[in-house]
Structure formats: structure tokens, C-alpha cells
Structure 1
Amino acid sequence: MGVRRSLRKWARKRYFLSRISLLDTPMEYYVGKMMNGEVFSFSRYNDGEWNAILDKKGSNIDGHEYFPELGARLRESIHQPLKYIYAFGDKAMTLDGITIARYLKDHGINITWYNCNVFHDTNMKGELYPLIAQLRKMQIVMVGPDHLRGLGEKVFAYQHFIEVPSRNCFLKVDQIKEEVLEYARSRKNLLFSFSASMAAKVLIYELYPLIGDRHWLIDFGSLWDIYVGVKSRGVHSEFDWGPILKKNLGTLSH
């Protein structure tokens, strides 16, 4: 059964990649843009987002439900795409690659997708330090759950923290949007680090026309969880993260 399941996943991913453009741009590309002061936005669409887009029932790995309105607003974000970086996840390809590829074709959606796991993959390799070093030089605003407040002491300082609920944060999406706008209104060159599950995609899509020309809007997803001791993903329990985190934080020789 395991072999057959793996073959089905491989076939779905192969089908998707044979029909949809996806660029595997390295982390250095994004860090370079930050270093050069080139403002951009980055939004990640993985299995949870696609489950909501396709009107599936249930919730994602973190317990955020696939609300009908969430699905509708996510669909709008890809049916009428804006000029920022749309990133696609490997898990979505292996679970629903055929269905998603057909959906994109049937609806005439022609987005050039980027690898949404670029930061997560680099993190696991112990090669995230260039990003963290750059973030330490920037004005960061965290948009995420309460447990990420500890990043300020362990990873990089942040200028402001906008808290989102750890479950079903989409129910507060409009309030969160207003808090971001209020803080961004009279400022420039802030980097908003979003860890707000599927709601992050809605936030970035609706904020981009308003502040995307002067602020970075980056969807980092669950990237920072392991740095505050939260093992939110299976990979966090698969091996010893101690040396990896030290390398990523620049406290262990590369």
C-alpha cells in the first residue's frame, strides 16, 4: 500500500509540473532583493489553501477550518492575481496535483508559480542564516500567534507584534487587516512577517494594493515555530534540530 500511495503522489506531482509553470528560485534571490531595498510580496498556497479553494470540508493541520468565505476570497486572489510572488507547495501537488492543474486550466488562470517551500527547505538544511541576518537589519512587524513573541529574544528583533488567533484566525481577518493598515499608514520599508495560516493569503492579497509598494508582505507560514519550541510539523520531530538552529542563528560555525 505504501508503494502504491507513493506512486500516486508521484504521478499527481508529475502531472501538475508537466502543465503548470513553477520556478524553483533559491533563497538568495529573495535575500538579495531585501538587501537591495527592492520591496516585494510573497504568498504561499499549499494543501490547506487549495482544500479551501476547492470547497472541501474540514480543517488544515493547525485546526483552521475551511470556511466558505475563506474559499471565496482565496479564489478571488488567484482568479484576479496581482503582481506579487505566488508560491505553490509540494504537498498540494502530491495530494491534488491533477485536480488543481485542471482547475487552473479550466478557469484560465495563468500564474507563474514559485516554490513555496524555499525558506522551509533551507531552514532544514541549516542554511537559513543569510535570511535571518538580513531580517536583523530590517524593521520587522510580526503578524502571528502569541507563541511567536519569543522570536524577539531568540531570532530577530521586531518593531511591532500583531497577534492573530491560533485557531480560525480567518474569523478575525478584517480586524487584522485594519491593524496592519493602521501601523503601516505613516511608515515605510517595514517587513510584515505573516504566520497566519490560510488567512495570510487573503491579507496579502487585500493589503498589497494599499501598502505593497512600500512594505514587504511575506508569508513565512510555520517557518518560525521551531525557534520558539513549537513542533507544529512532523518534520520538527524527525531529527535533532539543535545544531541546525544554531547554524541558522549564526551561533555555530558553518
Structure 2
Amino acid sequence: MSKIDIKNFNLYYTNFHALKDINMSIQEKRITAMIGPSGCGKSTLLRSMNRINDTIEGVRTSGEINIQGKNIYSEKTDIDKLRRNVGMVFQRPNPFPISVYENVAFGLKVNRIESKKSSIDAIVEKSLKAVLLWDDIKDKLKKNALSLTLEQQQRLCIARVIAVRPQIILLDEPCSSLDPVSTQKIEELMLALKDKYTIVIVTHNMQQAARISQDTAFMLLGELIEFDKTEKIFTNPSKKETDDYVSGKFG
């Protein structure tokens, strides 16, 4: 079933046409990877899915991005609600410089989702268990989150997103600052989470896209060149540009 439908979507940074007539349908409870060379628009498209680009001066858009049939670029869209439903995990772990517990509880309190301590405690525990962190840090909940390893910090950031009960998780190169062992652990986590969430990941690592995603989009110069099942993209792409990229002829 389709979760995100993008229709004739364009984005401009002042006069620069960054995204050009993007059309794609992202299926729910699957991992969709977006690949392509630097500057091709994949991170811009990812950030368009919860309107983080709105914070950049001079950005304007046309077309639609529909989530469950509702255009998020409608004037009626509640941006705060959208960003709770469509959580974002960034390239480098960005935990707040407060305790592990308060990091996970932050969104619950700020958005007034929960106020009872017992309820918040339960959600913090459930969220940390979901990212396989609970057993490692259940005795360190009062410690500053910045004391964790980079991999643990990235897991914590995912737990912080999960705590506010999103349906979609966007990940912008979430392993780029991690070593290979930590990268493998985050990939295993994403595979475990896909049964509950729709996941969209931007990655420069084509092997990563091949390992964890079910669908892959290849972008080039702001255009969506090809979007298909991951296996087809990497073994039998329809477009020459895609074949050249995945075979390493450019990029």
C-alpha cells in the first residue's frame, strides 16, 4: 500500500531548480533508498517529506507530496503534527546535551503527548528497547547523552523519533559518521524497524542500499531517473544513466 505519493514536485532555492517534476510512490512498511551522486537532490527530496526545507530562505515548491492521501504542502497542514508523524534522523548523531532519559522524553513533553511520569517512563523504556539500547544503558538514563558512543547516540536519536509515535522515519545518511561495525548494527536495526514503520533512507553507500532496501530511487541533477525494486536497479536497470552509476562508471 502506498504511504507517500509525490506528484509533479518541484523545489527551487531562489532561482536554482533543485528538484524537477518528481513523481514516485513510496510503499508503507518497506525501506526505500535514494541514491545518486552528491548534489543530485536526494537529501533535498528527503527533507521535503516533512518540510524541513521550509526553514531555508528562498525555498519555494510546486506540485504535491501526499501522505495517506493528504497533501502536506496544503495551507491547512499542521507542520508540528507533520513532523511528529514523519520523523527525521540526521547524518551525524545530534542528541541534546541533556540526559539519555530527557532526550527520549523531550518530544513527549514539548508536544504535550504525555504528562504522567509513569506513562513517560514506559514510553522511554519501550523506545529504547525498540532500538536495542535498553539493556546497555538502562542504568545510565541520567547520564549526559553525549557520553554515549556515536553508534549509541544514533540509536538514541532514532528512539527519540520513535517515542512520539511516527508512521514514517526519514534517515539522511545515518551511518556516514560510523565505523563499519556500528554501520552494520544500525542497518540491522533498520531492518528490524521496517515491519512497523515506513523508512526512507538517503545513502551514498550503494552496498548499503542493496543490503537493506526493498525499493531504490536513483537521482541525477535534480531528476528522478529511475525508481524500482532494489534488485532490478542493481542488476537490470532500465536506464543507461542508472547502469552507469551502479556499475561505477561515474559518481
Tell me if both proteins adopt one fold, taking TM over 0.5 as the criterion.
no
Decide which structure has greater strand share. Answer: 2
Greater relative contact order (CA < 8 Å, ≥ 6 in sequence): 2
What is the TM-score with the length of structure 2 in the denominator? 0.28
